[in-house]
Amino acid sequence: MTSTSTPPGLARFNDLEERAAFAVLHEACASTTWVRRLIAARPYATAEQLYDTGDAALAELTAADLAEAMAGHPPIGRPRPGDPASAREQRGMAGASDELKAEMLELNLAYQERFGHVFLICATGLTGERMRDAVKERIGNAPEREREIVRAELGKINRIRLARLVEEDA
C-alpha cells in the first residue's frame, strides 16, 4: 500500500510486522503509548505524516507515559554502552574535559533529585558546555514548566530518530 514516492526507509517501516515495528519505534521513544499510537496509524504515505503523528501522540502523553519515555534516556555524559544513537546524540560530551564531565555528573544528580528523572535535552549538535549551561538554567524551573520543556525536548529527539528511520538505506 506504499507508493513509489514513499521514502525507502518509511516503506520498510510500513511493511514491518507489528512486533518488529514496535521494537524499532521503542528504540526511538520508550513510551509504550507513543509507540502503539504510531503503529496504529500505519501505513504512512509521507515522512511528515509519521512526524505529525509522533508529535500528536507526544502531546497526549500522561505524566506516567513521559516518565516511561524519559527512563529510556541515559544521563547526559553517560551514553548507554553499545548504543550508537546515544553516543551519536551525546557526541558533544565525548571530548569534554574531566572537570566538565564531573560537573555534569553532579548537575545530573542534583537535577534528578529535584525532578525525579534524568535531565533530558536534545543534545544533537550541542557542546558539553551548552548542555551544562542548560541544566544549570533549567534546574530552577517549577516542575510544571520543566515537564513542558522535557516534552518539547523529547519531541525534538523523537523527530531526529524518526528521520533516521525514514532515511535508512536497506
- Each residue's pLDDT tens digit, 101-131: 899 999 999 999 999 999 999 988 889 999 9
Indicate whether 58 and 78 sit together in one domain.
no
Would residue 146 count as lying in a domain?
Answer: no
Q: How far apart are CA 10 and CA 50, in angstroms?
A: 9
Domain shared by 77 and 107, yes or no: yes
Does residue 129 belong to any structural domain of this protein?
Answer: yes
Of 68 and 4, the one with more pLDDT: 68
81 and 135 in a common domain:
yes
**Does residue 119 lie within any of the structural domains?**
yes
Please, where are the H alpha helices in 29-142?
Answer: 32-40, 47-59, 63-71, 84-89, 91-94, 98-115, 128-138
For residues 79 and 58, membership in a common domain is answered with: no
Q: Are 70 and 118 in contact (CB under 8 A)?
A: yes
**Residue 89 predicted with pLDDT over 80:** no
Q: What is the pTM of this model?
A: 0.89
Task: Work out the burial of residue 163: count CB atoms within 10 Å of its CB; fewer than 13 is exposed, 13-18 middle, 19 or more buried.
Answer: middle
45 and 78, same domain (yes or no): no
* Among 128, 118, 102, CA closest to 154: 118
Inter-residue contact 125 to 156 (CB < 8 Å): no
Domain that residue 120 falls in: 73-139
* pLDDT (mean) for 44-68: 96
Q: In this model, does residue 1 exceed pLDDT 70?
A: no
**How many separate domains does the chain show?**
2
